[in-house]
Structure 1
Amino acid sequence: MSPIPLETTINGPVDRVFDIVTQVRFWPQWHVLTRAVTGTIERPFLPGDEFTEFIRTAEGTLELAWKVVEHERPRRVTIQPIGRPGFISYTFEEVADGTLFRRVVDGGGQTASGTVTSDTESRSVANLKAFAEDILAREKKGATYP
């Protein structure tokens, strides 16, 4: 699998966007392949955090354990699958319209049974933008997200 770089501008401050995007508990709500997550998932990433993601593939469920290996809040974070090649990196940059969010998925030459594609990643990042902006809009109105 070749690296898949994507970017979008999320209407919100960089620190809040970082905190929303890096809470693994939200992944099943925006990533089209993620079915469930376990581990350290109830707060934004911290260095060394580990968690497990359950991904839907054509062959069934794939279980991936991840570890946060690079962390500079609220600018960038990198996670790596434990015992597999590859990484996912996120960068966050303050821009006039909010936060420029970049996500790079690199399977290290491998793929999750052909499931991770530029299409699944593009749809997921579009979902993430809508999801994060919905949370931020609710917060402006004084509501909280469960």
Structure 2
Amino acid sequence: MLEQSVAEIYIEAPINAVYDYATQPEHWPQWHPTSLRADVGDGGTPASDVQFVEVVDLMGVELTLNHRVVLDERPLAFATQFTSSKGQGSVRYDLHHQGTGTLFKRTLTYELNEPLPKLNVRMRDISAQAMANLQRRVEALRGA
């Protein structure tokens, strides 16, 4: 069954700064609680069709996600599709200039090979925490 978790937050920083930070997979463990590590090789925002690996904590189990960038429209949108031994899905970021900052939206869509009870509720909670972490990180970088 296809599940979706959507989270949105306002970040007091220019859209390019938010895009540049949020779309670099090596930064994901700094702000997303489930991301343990990600490797894209040279770093930076990976371009369309680039593949990379991320290791996440899925309810106490380390899981390897094999990502492929399917959208890189700097600074407005970024998306990957991923596969794993437990299922597949996509992560999409949409950014909009708003006032003096940026409205950032993260959409996680996934389908598991077998259901994990309460995962969708947990993912919504984690997404809210991730958005708050991202906001703090990017705003702190702007103040540095």
TM-score category (smaller protein): 0.7 to 0.9
- How far apart, in 2, do the equivalents of 1:110 and 1:118 lie? 20
- Alignment length, in residue pairs? 138
**Greater displacement, 52-61 / 23-32:** 52-61
Q: Is the 8 A contact 1:51 1:66 kept in 2?
A: yes
Q: Residues 74-108 of structure 1: CA distance to partner in whole angstroms, max 9, x if unpaired?
A: 11111100465321110110001400001001113
Specify every segment of 5 or more residues in structure 1 that has no aligned partner in the other structure, as ranges: 139-146
Report the equivalent of 2:110: 107
TM-score (norm 1): 0.84
Report the equivalent of 1:52: 53
Percent of aligned positions with the same letter in both sequences? 25
Following TM superposition, the consecutive aligned residue runs of length 4 or more in structure 1 with deviations greater than 2 angstroms are 57-60, 82-85, 108-116
- How far apart, in 2, do the equivalents of 1:53 and 1:100 lie? 25
Q: CA deviation at 1:37?
A: 1.3
Letter in 1 for 2:75: P
Specify every segment of 5 or more residues in structure 2 that has no aligned partner in the other structure, as ranges: none
Against the structure 1 CA distance between its residues 112 and 81, is the aligned structure 2 distance closer, same or farther, given a 3 Å change threshold? Answer: farther
- How far apart, in 1, do the equivalents of 2:106 and 2:14 lie? 17
> In angstroms, what is the RMSD of aligned CA positions?
2.2
Where is the strand percentage greater, Structure 1 or Structure 2? Answer: 2
TM-score (norm 2): 0.85
Q: CA deviation at 1:110?
A: 5.7
